[in-house]
Amino acid sequence: MAAKRTVAIIGSLNIDFVTRTKRLPEGGETLAAISFDTGFGGKGANQAVAAARLAGPDVTVQMVGNVGDDSFGRDYVEALAKEGIDTKGVRQLSDGKTGVTNIIVEEETGENRILFVANANFDAFEKQQSAAWDLLPAQCDVAVFQLEIPVDVVLHNLHQAQERGIHTILNPAPAELLPDFVYQDIDTLIMNETESSILSGHPKTLDQPDDDAIIIVARQFLHWGVKEAVIVTLGERGLIYATISGQQGHIPARKVTVVDTTAAGDTFAGAYAVERAKASAGEFDIEKALTFATLAASKAVGKAGAMTSIPRLEELQV
């Protein structure tokens, strides 16, 4: 029997406070919202749950991050364990507060606006490099990162992962300009259209929904050092991808009724990471992986909520 592959998701864990409203209030306006709910979220944890639900029997998922020792943190560790996620890498900070996220969802469009307070996601790390920065588990095949923990900590672990031969995936959200050297430590870069504009330093490049222009931007990141693939997700227009081997193309989005886009990108990233891990010992069919991840994301946007909207593998069977 082949050994199980392991995906490590290294990132944030937040408690979501979700308000659903018909429209956003104007400045100074008080508006009655439709509903309010709380749930588990954070890009890192969302991606871990997506990977765990979509992994099947061949892949193990680990979550690495920090929560407080408050009731939110304790409940969170228990919830992840129920998803079958290895939680040994989730630290509960003494006297710490778990991160929180405020999400406003517009009912008419399904679009969301998000504000987060990092709390334990940042408080666990000293400003100067220390042993606390070393987050990689002892064994993993694919390591997935976002930017909801300190950027320097992310860059440190990306480099460590490259040195150990671990396939690295970066989902640079929330987006910010990164130093040029970091791209040499990234195997796969997954970002949406806005994020690709910010990271490329050319925000006007993607004003027009032109496939050729987006491929040029994707290839710019390959030129900067990304080792395998750059993927730019485009919402209802699908995605554009380009690889270091010269493969490139467009994968269309599934036609679905959009309810809530909150966890769509995280579902995509988790699904892709699982497919990449399964292929780490052999040939990798990127179009097959992208089609799988696109299908998973389409299931997520059809449901309300973040983690609650992430599908399970059986929901993708056709």
Distance (Å, whole) CA 87 – CA 76: 10
Would you tell me the crossing angle of helices 264-278 and 43-54 to the nearest 10 degrees?
Answer: 50
Q: Is 289 annotated as a binding residue?
A: no
Contact 240, 214 (CB under 8 A): yes
Is there a binding annotation on residue 138? no
266 is an active site residue: yes
Q: Is 46 annotated as a binding residue?
A: yes
CA dist 73 and 69 (Å) reads 6
CA–CA separation, 188 and 171 (whole Å): 9
233 marked ligand binding residue: yes
305 is in an annotated binding site: yes
280 vs 266: CA distance, rounded Å? 21
Q: Is 265 annotated as a binding residue?
A: yes
Tell me which H or E stretch contains 158: helix 151-163
Map tokens 């032109």 to a residue. Answer: 210
Q: Is 192 flagged in the annotation as binding?
A: yes
Q: Was 214 annotated as part of a binding site?
A: no
Tell me if 148 is assigned to a ligand binding site.
yes
H or E stretch at 54: helix 43-54
Q: Note whether 295 and 264 are within 8 A (CB).
A: no
158 neighbors 186 (Cβ within 8 angstroms)? yes
DSSP state of 150: -
Catalytic-labelled residue, pool 86, 185, 187, 266: 266
266 is annotated as contributing to ligand binding:
yes
Q: Has 99 been labeled as part of a binding site?
A: no
Catalytic residue IDs: 266
**Which segments are annotated as binding site for ATP?**
192, 233-238, 265-266
**Which segments are annotated as binding site for substrate?**
14-16, 42-46, 148, 266
**Which segments are annotated as binding site for K(+)?**
260, 262, 300, 303, 305, 309
**Which segments are annotated as binding site?**
14-16, 42-46, 148, 192, 233-238, 260, 262, 265-266, 300, 303, 305, 309
